[in-house]
Structure 1
């Protein structure tokens, strides 16, 4: 049994950040944020899902930070972002927090690819019409997520759709029961509910450690928000190029959600359905998720954004050279 919050070695171990900061949201909530990769490189912002943390994006951060500035943050109450006394949680808090992170980590007018998994995707949809998102979003990836009817359409409870299934699903997801340490039984349950049947033991271990580390009060508090979530209007407000990705064995947010979102997007970049995978696609299929983010960046992030710092350095060096030459002539 283990209470470690994430694995400590291998491709899913969180890499050290180049910079860490505390972002203050609209209501004073403090959010842990990390910046990885070279300053001045094209920016990517990652928003994780319910019961997860920045550690969930370890594979994407490790791959993208070679040539991108990758910004990841812990949703309030998750990871190193403390839970706040203001309850109940609301979808507006998610939008406020994303806006605050964008303002704190990006220059005015700077564009980034925004990628959200599960509740992170819901965060982006909830904030789609916000000025901060309109200012900073160049393109979006919505990964394993939904905009409404989350409990009614979940297939975690293996019975036909009915009022009973909806009630059971809501009770299970909203439970305040402690998950406790990671055990073999706990991993089997987590794998069934959130991952594809072919998920390898190491990937199940990664997800189990992260999910079990989420405080039970936070887990239950946000489950109530998700059970009544209605951000379909946010889908229509996503006017930037937006791609959608889902696993065909996703029980938490089945593919019906992804198909509905992709059909309603003003500027759809297509729907990717990953055969046999579950809800935890960034861990189950890290290369596919990373590639989709990278494709959006190559298409919609202007190269000159990453060249500005270099140009400034070259300009300063040129000025210094001129001054040196003038000084030599005067001498």
Structure 2
């Protein structure tokens, strides 16, 4: 199994009626703001371990489990769907707790990258430097799609309450590790086994359940508004690094309805933008090439 080089410290922070689970690495120095890492959909904060191990600078780092993922969960009061702006408010609360008087360096992956991009435009004074790892947003929508979308949202909430949107449980951690490798064939076995113990937990029946609320599978009731996103991006003042992987996951996900050139065009709205690409990597680039990614991020943060 993979051996972590830099030990993490686990803590819980009260944020908006939730005990937010946070991992910390490195030494917290007086007056220093943290490097903040925010994971993607159906992932957890421990997912950053491989990249953190590859970073060369001794830096205070924090990574949180978003609401409904990892250990930031409230089974007694779990919602039946998730509202995207809640992530902005959660992040605002986390930064108020860990760095109330100074802007932070902020990194997000996938869904987490979409959140941090919006946050940096909503609260530009809170972000010193910004890194977007494969945070593409969603395809363009039309107002005419709204009735069907609302109907789908209602239908999926019913399915959730009927127990028809649950996440699969596994008989062993090996099963969880194999599931991770199926999603990402580049993920080495030692890393898959290490991640599995953070990505899942044993339930009362002895099976291993993914640490993600099934309600995350319910479609958003609201259509994605590209113009709204661009308006937010234009307000970002932090120097921004947008990193993509050599594998074009975006075009394959959306079957041609949303392609990489369209994402790159949207990113032109960010005032101070540079691009990077990680070779021999897919969407989980922080797992596939943690060393190359760590080097690229540090070159950006400290240049």
Which TM-score applies when normalising by structure 2? 0.72
> Which deviations, in whole Å up to 9, do the C-alpha atoms of 1:57-112 show, x marking residues without a partner?
1123334485111011110011111145344211111101111111100031x122
* Alignment partner, residue 277 of structure 2: 273
For the Cα contact (< 8 Å) 1:150–1:229, is it kept in 2? yes
Structure-to-structure mapping, 1:180-219, within 5 angstroms: 180-181=169-170, 190-191=180-181, 193=183, 195=184, 197-206=185-194, 210-212=198-200, 213-215=209-211, 218-219=213-214
> Corresponding residue for 1:239?
237
Alignment match, 1:34:
23
Unaligned runs of 5+ in 1: 1-6, 152-166, 300-331
d(CA) in 2 for partners of 1:249 and 1:189?
20
CA distance in 1, matches of 2:251, 2:238: 23
Q: Verify the 8 A CA contact 2:12 2:19 in the aligned structure 1.
A: no
**C-alpha distance in 1 between matches for 2:291 and 2:6:** 16
> Where do residues 1-331 of structure 1 align in structure 2 (5 Å cutoff)?
9-11=2-4, 15-17=7-9, 20-25=11-16, 28-40=17-29, 41=32, 43-64=34-55, 67-83=58-74, 84-108=77-101, 110-131=102-123, 134-149=124-139, 176-181=165-170, 190-191=180-181, 193=183, 195=184, 197-206=185-194, 210-212=198-200, 213-215=209-211, 218-221=213-216, 224-225=219-220, 228-230=223-225, 231-251=229-249, 256=260, 259-269=264-274, 271-299=275-303
Instruction: Give the structure with the higher percent helix.
Output: 1
Rg comparison, structure with higher value: 1
Q: For 2:100 and 2:119, how far apart are their aligned partners in 1? A: 19
**Does the residue aligned with 2:234 lie in a helix, a strand or coil?**
helix
Contact in 1 for aligned 2:165/2:217 (Cα 8 Å): no
SS at match of 1:88: coil
8 Å contact kept, 2:71–2:211: no
CA contact under 8 A between 1:36 and 1:65: conserved in structure 2? no
* 1:50–1:119 contact (8 Å) kept in structure 2: yes
Q: Check 1:190–1:54 CA distance in 2 against 1; reply closer, same or farther (3 A cut).
A: closer
Unaligned runs of 5+ in 2: 142-151, 201-208, 253-258
Tell me the C-alpha RMSD between the 2 structures.
Answer: 3.5
> How far apart are the structure 1 equivalents of 2:221 and 2:106?
20
Q: TM-score, normalised by structure 1?
A: 0.66
Distance 1:275 1:225, change over 3 A: farther
Cα separation, 2, equivalents of 1:191 and 1:226: 32
Q: 1:219: Cα distance to partner?
A: 4.1
Counterparts of 1:293 and 1:227, CA distance in 2: 33
Q: Distance in 2 between matches of 1:226 and 1:286?
A: 35
1:225-279 deviations in Å (ceiling 9; x for gaps): 499544444333322111111223253676716534443321102x222233211
Counterpart of 2:205 in structure 1 is none
